[in-house]
Amino acid sequence: MEIEIAELTPFQKEILKTLLSLHKKIGLVKSKRIARLLGRNEVAVRNQMQVLRVLGLVEGVPGPKGGYKPTAKAYETLCMASSLSVALIKDGELLNCGVNEVSLLSISDEVRLRIRVFGDAAVSAGDTLLILTPWVVFEGEISWRDDGVLLFSGKAREEVSKVRGGTSVRDAAKFGFCLVKVEDGIAGIITPELLVKAISEGKLEVKVEEIMEGVAVVDREASFREVTELLENCRFLVVGESLVLRKL
């Protein structure tokens, strides 16, 4: 059963977020503890836990030391509901977490960000990270971590990579900006904006051709007039299969 975050009630979302946070710290979680933290009736929480179990979002472990734990689907469901369209990538793999806040601390010699996350953010100080936002891609490393807060130091990524047609969104996300190359040349472009939108919609295995934006392609001998005329009808212009011009 595919679950959309919009199908969950606000109460169910609260329960899931609390469960994810507690499970990361203490393991199995009893409904009584969640009820106390949320200031809600324990019976109401327990009833909702049964609904979430049927939906495949939580698992119950019986016994005196038992409790509830989130499933992989719970992480995925809440990550898709992140209030910010931001994706974190470590070692070429998309992290199974959501981002609630990104604060810019400094842009002097390097970019410094404070990032608040929820879910399974399996990163530690010293880890290299790629951060996809709809506007820019950052690459650098985590300088400090405490619970759900990450401090990041790095720079904006400027280069444009190339991926072959048929590449999945999951694999294209490792690069950020990338041109989609087919046998006949450049078919389109994938931007961070398109990537984070596809990720937020759960389209990780969709092929890049399904989400790419069209481009105009000219050779390096094109005149300035030709270039400006082409940019009037599209947002991106590829010059010589490497230089990408963007209409402001």
Give CA–CA dist 223/225, Å, rounded.
5
Strands, sheet with 128-132, edge to edge from the N-terminal-most edge strand: 93-94, 87-90, 128-132, 137-146, 149-156, 111-120, 96-106
Q: What is the pLDDT of residues 118-157, one digit of tens each?
A: 777 889 999 999 998 876 788 999 999 987 899 999 988 8
Could you give the 3-state DSSP secondary structure of residue 157?
A: coil
CATH entry, 82-156, from 1.10.3470, 2.40.10, 1.10.10, 2.20.25:
2.40.10
Q: Which pLDDT score is estimated for 241?
A: 65
Q: What is the pLDDT of residues 218-233, one digit of tens each?
A: 887 777 778 777 777 7
Q: What is the mean pLDDT of residues 23-37?
A: 88
pTM, 2 dp: 0.61
Query: Of 32-46, 48-62, 65-79, which range is least confident?
Result: 65-79
Q: Are 135 and 192 in contact (CB under 8 A)?
A: yes
Class for the domain spanning 161-246: alpha beta
CATH entry, 5-77, from 1.10.630.10, 1.10.10.10, 3.40.350.10, 3.90.120.10:
1.10.10.10
pLDDT grade for 201, boundaries at 50, 70 and 90:
confident
Q: Which pLDDT score is estimated for 242?
A: 65
Q: What is the pLDDT of residues 83-98, one digit of tens each?
A: 467 889 999 888 878 7
Domain definitions of the chain by residue range:
5-77, 82-156, 161-246
